[in-house]
Structure 1
Amino acid sequence: MSTETSIDPKLFRQLLGCFPTGVAIITTHTADGQPVGLTCNSFSSVSLEPPLVLFSLRKASSLLGVFAQADAFAINILSQSQDALSGRFASSKIADKFEGVAWRRGELGTPLIDDCLASFECRVHARHEAGDHDIFIGEVRHMGTGPADHALVFYKGAYMMLAESLRKLVLEGRLGTADIDEAYRALYGTLLRLACERASEAEVDAIEAAVAEIEQHQGEQALPRRIEATASFFSSIALAGHNEALRLMAQTMTAVLRERMTHVIPARPRPDVFPLRRKLVQSLRGRDAQGAVAALDELIAMLRKDGDADTGAAQEAAAL
């Protein structure tokens, strides 16, 4: 008898984000010729002979019916300077996505967005149901190129160009310590308050497991695993808050955390702060938002106070 392991949908989505993808806007038109489109990072090549590509579309999408009835669609590959377009075509609050957007009709009548890196006009080759998505396979009939630029890349819930910019700012010392601490207090304080209202016991268990992982990897040689455990601690808090916008902001802060722990601040073992993380978890279990936020504030203050002392000592030693 075989047993199947249950797949956590949130973790599944999070781990899929470890694979960087390009960002495209998929377009077609309604029966009366109105342009429609949506942001997509599920675009992929399928075959060279014949030239086939695919994208997948949620069954819950309001545009599924339009794409199902269309005989053609276009893939518009975005450049890193078109991140605003990505957000526009991903928003459910904007009724007319094409308002104010420069575009033209291609050879197949599909909307082609100006200044994209590349475009592919496709005839629908096949459509397949696959779980909660439909897969559309298109045969490429026409192609076009745009300006020479870097592609817009999506990675772990954020645009990679943003992550790279943050890394540069951290390494150059242009993100002030006080500003970072204030951002952590504001962002994770809000997430902890939300988690006290919304988190499941399993999500609190995940936070506690991350705390245990941090405590386990305290040797000097265990720094890489301690960094990942610390990142997991904050990521688990973000998931428990059940707010997608704040979770994306938290992913940005996690990128800053990794770079600072790796290249900037002393990341020595700190068993003295173990009780504070444990207190935070206990407060979450008791749905005590005030206690959880207070534990976070105390944790940040203690780490910063001793971290500043370590940095000063290191600088003095280097000067000798």
Structure 2
Amino acid sequence: MSEVAERTAIEPTQFRQLLGCFPTGVAVITTRTADGKPAGLTCNSFSSVSLDPPLVLFSLRNASKLLDTFKGADGFAINILSERQDALSGRFASSKIENKFEGVGWRSGPNGMPLINECLASFECSVFACHEAGDHVVLIGEVKHMDAGAGDQALVFYKGAYMMLAESLRNMVLQGKLGDAHIDEAYRALYGTLLRLACDRATDAELDAVEEAVDTIEGHADDAPLKDRIDSASRFFSAVATAGHNEALTLMAQTMTSVLRERMTHVLPVRPRPDLFPLRRNIAHSLRRRDADGAAAALDELITQLRKG
């Protein structure tokens, strides 16, 4: 008799973080509304499917305001962004900008789809297939026309940040060009703000996650592997960022987590620090009490003591 293996629950936050380990390009997907107006959104789920016929795909959240527009359209265009077009990525990803195309250079392609100027490449597609897949819809397009643009570097998304930023910070850390004072100031400003937001916005489950991260750090044996120590420290700061419910600051926090990992791996001596246990615990307890000033003060003390050590 065969036994059915029990499935391990997939934690959504970790799933998203691990998917971020795969660098992806960034594209703006465009189409026309039913009345002919241009519409578009930022996407990093673009992928090739087939050479014969030439097929590509992207996936769209079921919650997207443009879901019905794309499902009802005859075609769409993939506009691959260069690293100079990071502002366009943010513009087409924003839910607060009503007219995404205002002030943006674009033209109609041979098949009528909106093509953004100065992109690395563009592909006009007719809809080949549409499939529901979990909380997304997968749209497959058959390429009918394509253009090559400027020979710039691609805009690449990696571990929650544009790679040009993450790589610049990483290189500065490894080369010793990022001073301790600047890093400490950045942590105080960024995570101090996130802690204050978390005191207003965090759910009980998110507060539990912060405390569980503290428990993990305190539970390490003195001879615990460096990787485990780095993972638990990163998990603590990631839990704080998640509890703050601000996507822009969370992206910045993910980049700072990359800096933390590089410093712990290559720069800082990492040893057991039980003297820091009460300070992290104070942060978690202050969050639980919704005490923003107390949480920020505990963070400040933690950073001060880390540097003294």
Same fold (TM over 0.5): yes
Q: Does 1:232 align with 2:235?
A: yes
- Which of 247, 251, 267 is residue 264 of structure 1 equivalent to? 267
Q: Residues 85-112 of structure 1: CA distance to partner in whole angstroms, max 9, x if unpaired?
A: 1111111222222222222222211111
CA-to-aligned-CA distance 1:33-73 (integer Å, 9 cap, x gap): 32221111111122222111111122332222222222111
Letter of the 2:147 counterpart = G
1:253-285 deviations in whole A, cap 9, x for unaligned? 212212222222332332221222222223333
User: Taking every aligned residue pair, what percent have the same amino acid on both sides?
Assistant: 71
Q: One-letter code of the match for 2:208? A: D
Greater shift in the superposed pair: 79-88 or 288-297: 288-297
Matches within 5 A, 1:99-248: 99-217=102-220, 219=222, 222-248=225-251
Q: Please name the residue that 1:280 is paired with.
A: 283
Q: Secondary structure at the match of 2:206?
A: helix
Paired with 1:138 and 1:218, the residues of 2 have a C-alpha distance of 53
Give TM-score scaled by structure 2 length.
0.90
Aligned to 1:70: 73
Answer whether contact 2:55 2:143 (CA < 8 A) is retained.
yes
Secondary structure at the aligned position of 1:268 is classed as: coil
Q: Distance in 2 between matches of 1:274 and 1:130?
A: 44
The unaligned stretches of length 5 or more in structure 2 are none
TM-score (norm 1): 0.87
Match of 1:255, SS?
Answer: helix
Return closer, same or farther for 1:48/1:229 CA change in 2, 3 Å cut-off.
same
Q: Please name the residue that 2:304 is paired with.
A: 301
- Report the CA distance shift for 1:149/1:180 in structure 2 as closer, same or farther (over 3 A): same
CA deviations on 1:162-214 (whole Å, 9 max, x unpaired) are: 10011122223332322221221222122222223332333223222322333
Give the structure 2 partner of residue 316 of structure 1.
Answer: none
- TM-align CA RMSD: 2.2
Say which is worse superposed, 218-227 or 289-298, in terms of deviation. Answer: 218-227
Separation of aligned partners in 1, 2:298 and 2:33? 54
CA distance in 1 between counterparts of 2:34 and 2:201 reads 43
Q: Secondary structure at the match of 1:181?
A: helix
Q: Which runs of 5+ in 1 are unaligned?
A: 307-320
Equivalent pair of 1:213/1:229 in contact (CA under 8 Å) = yes
Q: Determine helix, strand or coil for the equivalent of 2:39.
A: strand
Structure 2 Cα separation of the partners of residues 60 and 202 of structure 1: 23
Q: Check whether the contact 1:218–1:226 (CA below 8 A) recurs between aligned residues.
A: no
| Larger Rg, first or second structure (1 or 2) | 1
Runs (4+) of structure 1 exceeding 6 A deviation are none
